[in-house]
Structure formats: C-alpha cells, structure tokens
C-alpha cells in the first residue's frame, strides 16, 4: 500500500494510515507509562511517516521501516518527557497553604497609618489634589471645578505629591 501511496493513490494511503494506527498505538503503549501521552506519540509518528514517506524503498519490507520510525519517535518523546519532568515539581495537596484571614492585619494597619500621616504632611494644594484625583477618583474636570484649580495645576500638584511620598517612603526603606 505504501508503494501505491507514493504513486499518488490517496485511498491506499488512507487505508495504510488507518491500518497502521492501532499497531503504532500498541508499540507506544508498551513503552510509555503515561497514557495521556500515547495519542500524542501516535500523531507524531503518523506526521513523521507523512513527512518522510518519500524515503521508503518499495523493494524493501514496510514493517521494519515503520517500526524504526515509530521507535525513534517514541524514544524522542520519552527523552522530552524526562527533560521536562526533571525541571518540574509536582504539586501535592499537602504543600498548599491558605492564608489566615487575620494574617498581616497589624502590619497593614501600620502601613496605612504611615501613609495617612505622610499625606497629612503634604502642602494643602498637593494633599487636596491627591485626595480628589487618587482617593475619590474624580476626573480632572470634576476636581478642577471643585477646587477652583486649573487642570494643569492639578496635574502638577498630584505629580509633586506622589514624588514627595515616593521619596519619603524610599528613604524609610518601606513601601506602603
């Protein structure tokens, strides 16, 4: 059938592939423990046969040619699996941890207090711009109307406030 497939007989090629698929699957099942990989290997072997079908010599037996290709692809798959499993760590249910709802609340309260104190220490214009634009999430137009400042002045005040806060917390070595 392979010789007819090489000659362009599509029906013969289809029958050939349908006939060898169970045999390839059986070869893979003998050597591969992970049954999830077997169908991938079968498809890989079939694609390889398709790509190298021109190398088959009709004067020689088809079986050894097929087995050689299948075994090489199976071995390649096993090697690939060994390489990836050497880098992966299986997740066990024992390794999972769930956070305690009360964890780090005290630290978060201290950080919030430090941030609140730092914002209170800003000049009034910067503090108000930061409050309206970042905390109350007002648009620039809304904040400009509420504060009487221009849009540009709000942008500058917000930028300066954030820059001051960033410097303050970087010098303390913490970031709230």
Domains by residue range for the chain, with CATH: 2-87 (1.10.1740.10), 118-172 (1.10.10.10)
Q: What's the whole-model pTM score?
A: 0.48
Residue 103 has pLDDT above 70, yes or no: no
How many alpha carbons lie under 13 Å from residue 118 in its C-beta half-sphere?
Answer: 22
Cα separation, 165 vs 39, whole angstroms: 58
For Cα atoms 39, 45, 51, give the angle at the middle one, nearest 5 degrees.
Answer: 140
Q: Residue 57 gets which letter from DSSP?
A: -
Q: Note the pLDDT of residue 49.
A: 93
How many alpha carbons lie under 13 Å from residue 173 in its C-beta half-sphere?
Answer: 0
Q: What share of the chain is helix, strand, coil (3-state, %, to 5)?
A: 75, 0, 25
Q: Note the pLDDT of residue 89.
A: 75
Residue 85 has pLDDT above 60, yes or no: yes
| Mean pLDDT over the full length of the chain | 85
Closest to 22 in 3D by CA, of 66, 77, 78, 81: 66
Q: Of the ranges 46-50, 76-80, 105-109, which one carries the lowest mean pLDDT score?
A: 105-109
Residue 66 has pLDDT above 90, yes or no: yes
Q: Residue 95 gets which letter from DSSP?
A: G
For the stretch 19-29, pLDDT in tens is 999 999 999 99
For the stretch 129-168, pLDDT in tens is 988 998 889 999 999 999 999 999 999 999 999 998 888 8
> pLDDT over 90 for what percent of the chain?
47
> What tokens were used for 67?
């087995």
Cα separation, 150 vs 156, whole angstroms: 10
More confident residue, 101 or 3: 3
């Amino acid at each position: 059938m392979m010789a007819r497939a090489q000659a362009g007989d599509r029906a013969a090629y289809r029958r050939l592939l349908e006939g060898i698929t169970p045999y390839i699957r059986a070869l893979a099942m003998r050597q591969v423990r992970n049954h999830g990989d077997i169908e991938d290997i079968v498809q890989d072997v079939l694609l390889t046969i398709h790509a190298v079908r021109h190398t088959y010599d009709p004067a020689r037996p088809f079986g050894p040619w097929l087995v050689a290709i299948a075994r090489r692809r199976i071995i390649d798959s096993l090697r690939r699996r060994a390489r990836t499993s050497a880098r992966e760590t299986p997740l066990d249910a024992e390794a999972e941890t769930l956070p305690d709802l009360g964890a780090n609340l005290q630290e978060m309260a201290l950080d919030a207090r430090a941030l609140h104190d730092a914002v209170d220490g800003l000049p009034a214009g910067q503090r108000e711009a930061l409050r309206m634009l970042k905390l109350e999430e007002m648009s620039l137009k809304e904040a400009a109307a509420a504060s009487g400042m221009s849009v540009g002045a709000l942008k500058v005040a917000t930028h300066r406030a954030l820059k001051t806060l960033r410097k303050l917390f970087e010098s303390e070595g913490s970031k709230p």
